[in-house]
Structure 1
Amino acid sequence: MRTILFPTDFSEIANNAFVYALNIAKSIDAKIYVLYSFLEPVLSATHAGQPELLGEVYQSIELDQFEVFRKKSQRLHEIAEHENLNDVELIFLFEEGPLPFVVQRLVKTEKFNLIVMGTHGESGFLSKVIGTNTVDVIKNVQNPVLAIPPHAKFQGLNKAAFTTLFRDKDKSALKEMIMMANATGSKIDCVHVLKNETVNQVLLHTEAWKHEFPNEEINYVLLDEVESVENTITTYLLENNIDIFAVVKRNRNWFDRLFTNSVSNNLAFHSKVPILVFHEEK
């Protein structure tokens, strides 16, 4: 059985992302590990009044956090029931520590096929677009991460865009994308931006990929660069009603540019279109 890790803070943004996690889990026959992590404050003995009370203070904090976790977990069961997806298996995890570090720890012991997260805007433009915790998780784990922005509303996954340089290293990510697309009934646009090569050169790659994936419904799209690769891609996504945008994280600079170029387009796009980030094969 496949597994999805769903970190949550039980906010409305996270609950909205949970609907995506449920639907994907149902489609690919996966169970969901719901992760709630909390941070204990750093206290000195003087804060507790007496050194021997410090352990009791920490225990009290943990118990309070667990009570929050217990009560708010019930809301997720209610969402699943409302979506008629209460047959999806949910496993709840209660962990102490910063979320990115907790996720790193968990992926070492459990094979998660996908991590689904709601996004939260914080300081810095990249963080405002997809959230500090989400950025940290993407940069520090090798698992695919699906980031669900606040204004995304699940209405099925009908059309996906997968950006590629037609490199061999992109094929494993495309195979994962095909698996999800087949399960959810999505069509895939395989998008490439022309830079220093000719159309004929790239068509040789598309023909090779068509032979490698002969039974898949993939639409190969070649775009002329306008201003930048990142701007060209985001404009295409906005104009073509894309439900999910898949990208292979090749390196940090390219990944950051994708979110920081063309500010107005990116804000419009990233406020409503989920982003599926794969890591390049090593």
Structure 2
Amino acid sequence: MKRILFPTDFSDVANNAFVHALELAKTLKGELIVLHSFELPVVDNQFFPENYMVIYESLELAQFDMFKDEIPKLRSIAEERQLDKIKMTHRLMDGDLTFNIKKAIKEDRIDFVVMGTSGASGWQSFFMGTNSGNVITDITVPMLCVPQDVPFRKAETIGFTTRFRAKDKKALKSVLKIAHKMNAQIKCLYVKTNESDVDNATVKEWEKEFEKEPITFYVTISNDVKDTILDFILQKDIDILTMLTYKRGFFESIFHPSLTKKIATEYATLVLAIPIE
């Protein structure tokens, strides 16, 4: 059974991503681990020597009470979509969000992470700040990034960006397993720039290997990789765009705020980030 980590701040953006997490759990016959991470403020105890622990205990209790109040709301969302049979467990963790996500991945043996990509309470800076690429590439499991206000719809077409490397092929086979479960097709894009080193024979070899699978390969000649990918999303009706995180700088540029907003508002496309070891 696949285990899916869903970090949430209980915002509308997170609740929308929760629906996607539920549907992914349904598709993969998996279970959800709901994570709420919070950071207590730094308090100088020289100014509050007597009430130092009281302050922290009251803040922790407030977080626990909110967590306790919000969980039934998530269960109501699951019931509304008739997905309340999906197993859910919950974690409340104090500390840095990224650290806690990585810790939960290890301790709970997580297979996927599903998370909203903008919103309140610092989530926007988490995904769009200067460390966003580092955070995502540090995660050891695939992460489904759900843009703000993108409702769930059945995925019919999965986009896959590739450079025709051996590690790309391993990732493609993993995505293919998901595509089979979703009854979706895969459209692979290779953007051939002036610096590209992939020959036609390699492309033909891949096409031959996957000829019996629902996969179509596209090679586009362009030096503008980002815009080519965005055009590909629109022209090929991509529902989920798979991106491999082997190139840190490129992934950071894709998640620049203006591009993320463009994908979310004009393309309404989910991004599945797959780490390459």
TM-score by length of 1: 0.87
Q: Identify the residue that residue 92 of structure 2 maps to in structure 1.
A: 94
Deviations, residues 37-93 of structure 1 (Å, cap 9, x unaligned): 111111223443x43x32222111111100000100111100101111111111111
Q: Does 1:240 align with 2:236?
A: yes
Distance 1:113 1:232 in 2: 30
Shift of 1:169: 1.0
With over 3 angstroms needed to count, the CA separation of the structure-2 counterparts of 1:56 and 1:155, relative to structure 1, is same
Deviation string, structure 1 residues 222-250 (Cα, Å, up to 9, x no partner): 1121x511111111112322111001112
Contact 1:3 1:33 in 2 (8 A): yes
- The equivalent residue for 1:29 is 29
| Change over 3 Å in CA distance of 1:259–1:174 after alignment to 2 | same
> Which digits, 9 at most, give the CA deviation of each residue in 1:173-200, with x for residues without a partner?
11221111111121110111122489x9
**1:45 aligns to what SS in structure 2?**
coil
Q: Name the aligned partner's letter for residue 258 of structure 1.
A: I
After superposition, give the CA deviation of every residue in 1:146-174 in whole Å (9 maximum; x if it has no partner).
11000211111111100001100112211
Distance 1:22 1:106 in 2: 18
SS of equivalent to 1:59: helix
Paired with 2:177 and 2:47, the residues of 1 have a C-alpha distance of 54
Query: Do 2:11 and 2:119's aligned partners in 1 also have CA atoms closer than 8 Å?
Result: no
Gaps of 5+ in 1: none
Quote the Cα distance in structure 1 between the aligned partners of 2:224 and 2:195: 15
**Separation in structure 1 between the aligned mates of residue 65 and residue 133 of structure 2, nearest angstrom:** 28
Residue 256 (structure 2) pairs with residue 280 (structure 1) = no
Q: Is the 8 A contact 2:148 2:264 kept in 1?
A: no
Which residue is equivalent to 2:225?
229
Aligned-residue identity in percent: 32
Q: 2:3 corresponds to which residue?
A: 3
Q: How does 1:65-84 map to 2 (within 5 A)?
A: 65-84=63-82
Distance 1:260 1:54, change over 3 A: closer
Q: Which residue of 1 aligns with 2:13?
A: 13
User: 1:258-273 maps to which residues of 2 (within 5 A)?
Assistant: 258-260=254-256, 263=258, 267-271=261-265, 272-273=268-269
- Where 2:107 maps in the other structure, the secondary structure is coil
Matches within 5 A, 1:1-282: 1-48=1-48, 50-51=49-50, 53-120=51-118, 130-132=127-129, 135=133, 137-196=135-194, 201-202=199-200, 204-225=201-222, 228-260=224-256, 263=258, 267-271=261-265, 272-281=268-277
What secondary structure is seen at the aligned counterpart in 1 of 2:199?
helix
Q: Which amino acid aligns with 2:231?
A: T
Q: Distance in 2 between the 1:231 and 1:81 partners? A: 40
Tell me the secondary structure at the aligned position of residue 76 of structure 2: helix
2:240 alignment partner AA: I
Question: In structure 2, the residue corresponding to 1:108 is in which secondary structure?
Answer: helix
- TM superposition shift of 1:6: 0.5
Question: 1:256/1:134 Cα in 2 relative to 1: closer, same or farther (>3 Å)?
Answer: closer
User: How far apart are residue 252 of structure 1 and its match?
Assistant: 1.6
Contact 1:238 1:269 in 2 (8 A): no
Root-mean-square deviation over aligned CA pairs: 2.5
Contact kept, 8 Å, 1:234 with 1:266, in 2: the verdict is no
Taking structure 1 as reference, are residues 99 and 128 closer, same or farther at Cα in structure 2, changes over 3 Å only? closer
C-alpha separation between the residues in 2 aligned to 1:24 and 1:90?
A: 13
Q: Is residue 207–residue 217 contact of structure 2 (8 Å, CA) maintained in 1?
A: no
Q: CA deviation at 1:112?
A: 1.2
CA separation of 1:131 and 1:19: change in aligned 2, threshold 3 A: farther
Residues 39, 95 of structure 2: 8 Å contact kept: yes
What's the TM-score once normalised by structure 2's chain length? 0.89
